[in-house]
Amino acid sequence: MFIVSSYTMAVVFCFITMLCWGSWANTQKIAAKSWRFELFYWDYVLGMLLFSLLFGLTFGSSGAKGMSFAASISQASVSSIVNPIIGGVIFNLSNILLVAAISIAGLAIAFPVGVGLCMVLGVIINYIATPKGNPVFLFIGMGIVLVAIIIDAIAYKKLAIIKKKTPTQGIALSVVAGFLMAWFFRFIASAIASDPENTGAGMAEAGKLTPYAAFFFFSIGVLVSNFLFNTYLMKKPIEGAPVSFKQYFNGNFRSHLSGIIGGMVWALGTCLSLLAANKAGYAISFGLGQCATMIGALWGVFIWKEFKGANKSVNWLLAMMFLLFTAGLALIIIAGNN
C-alpha cells in the first residue's frame, strides 16, 4: 500500500485535506436549485463509500509496504471494525446537527461555534491519545486560527447575510455538533496500526487496520446511520416541506453526480489526513484539516462574491482573518517538525 514517507509529504497532504474539507460544499451549489440538502446528502454518502473502495483497491493495494486493502479487512479484529463504524455514526449525526444549527442560527454563528469547538477539542483529544509534535506551537497556532474563525464570523454578521432568527437553539445544536465531531477522528485512529508497514498475523498489532481499511469501515458507519438520521430529516425537515425517496429517484443526472462528487472530495481529504498522521501525528493532521473553515471563506470571498459591496470595516476584518489564519497555520506546521 502507499504510505506517507516524510513530514513534508504529510504537510502537503494536510493542505489537500483543507482544500477538500473546505470545498466539497460547493458541489451542492452546482446541483439543481430545487435539489434539497436531504436529497443531496444521500449521494454525498454514496460518494464517500465509493471512494473508500476505489482508494482502497488502488493506492491501498499497491506497493510492497504494509498489507493490502483486502488483507487488512480479512484480519481485522472486532474492535478495529466496530470503532471506525462508531466514528462514522458520530460524524454523520454531528454533521446533520451542524446543518440544522446553520439553518436555525445562521452560518456566522453556528459554523464558528461548532467547528471552533470541534477543532480545539479534537486537537486536545488526539494529542492526549498520541502526543506527537511541539504542544506549545501546536496549541498557540490553534488558538490563533480560532481567533481567525471568530473574526470571519464577525465579518459575516456585519455584512448581514444571515437570516434574522433567535439563535439560542441553534447555538445549543452547534455546541452538541462540535462536541460530537471532535471525536470521530479518534475512533478511526484507534483502529489504525501505529506502524502501518508492520501489520498482520504475527505482528505486535495484529488485528489493527491500514488507514484505507479503517476509512472503509467508517464509510459503512456513515451509510448505515444515514438510513436513520437522514430519513428522519426527510420526514421532519428543519426548513421547508418534507421530501420523499420518490423525489430522490426522480432527480436528474447532474444533481446526483454533484452529490457523489461532493462525497468523494470530502473522502479524499479524510483519507489523506489519515495517511498524513503517520508522520505528522493525529492532532496536527486533524488540526490542519479543520482549518478548512478558512478555505470555505476563500470560496465565499473570491468565487461566490459573498462580500461584494462590503464596507471598509468588513474588508479590514477579512484581511486580519487571513493574516491570522496564515500565522496560525505556520505555527501548526512548525509544531509537527519539532
Reported as a single tens digit per residue, the pLDDT across 143-154 is 998 898 888 878
Give pLDDT, residue 49. 98
pLDDT at 123 exceeding the cut of 60: yes
pLDDT at 292 exceeding the cut of 90: no
In this structure, which long-range contacts are made by residues 117-121, counting pairs with CB atoms below 8 Å and at least 24 apart in sequence? 117/174, 117/175, 117/178, 117/179, 117/182, 118/94, 118/177, 118/178, 118/179, 118/181, 118/182, 118/290, 119/145, 119/146, 119/149, 119/182, 119/287, 119/290, 119/291, 120/146, 120/182, 121/178, 121/179, 121/182
Nearest to 278 by CA among 189, 206, 200, 186: 189
pLDDT at 160 exceeding the cut of 60: no
Q: What percent of the chain has pLDDT over 70?
A: 92
Give pLDDT, residue 174. 84
List, for residues 221-240, the tens digit of each pLDDT value.
999 999 999 999 999 988 78
List, for residues 3-34, the tens digit of each pLDDT value.
998 999 999 999 999 999 988 888 887 887 78
Query: In whole angstroms, what is the distance from residue 92 CA to residue 104 CA?
Result: 19
Query: In whole angstroms, what is the distance from residue 180 CA to residue 174 CA?
Result: 10
Give pLDDT, residue 258. 94
pLDDT at 138 exceeding the cut of 60: yes
Query: In whole angstroms, what is the distance from residue 324 CA to residue 138 CA?
Result: 14
Is the CB of residue 152 less than 8 Å from the CB of residue 112? yes
Distance from chain centroid for Cα 2: 22
Type of residue found at 14: C
Residue 276 in grid coordinates: 498524513
pTM score, two decimals? 0.90
